[in-house]
Amino acid sequence: MASIRLEGLRFHGYHGVFEEEARFGAPFVVDLVLEADLPETDDLAATVDYARVYARVAAVVTGTRYRLIEALAHRIARDALAEEPLVRAVTVRVHKPHAPLPGVVGDVVVEVRHAR
């Protein structure tokens, strides 16, 4: 088994529990690790189409509001498994670098792993 990593996918989303987050939004960063048996051939049809994965992640992050980034991470992971039959497991990290906290924080990150 091998892994395909998509790191640093940046989107503007409207996730969070506060009304200001729903109104103004904020940047979100997503990292994925897709675990799959990869082919030894040079054929896109025989592997994970990470352009399709990117498009689906973009649609989820920018199209649906979640109060919790935990729920957002689970949705991304479930979609990756549902849409990519060659993926056997996926790890998703959702970063919320501008989380509204009462101090200096570099990043807030949630990580989930789903497997078949």
In terms of Cβ atoms closer than 10 Å to its own Cβ (0-12, 13-18, 19+), residue 92 is buried
96 part of the active site: yes
| Catalytic annotation, pick one of 8, 96, 98, 104 | 96
Which residues does the annotation mark as catalytic?
96
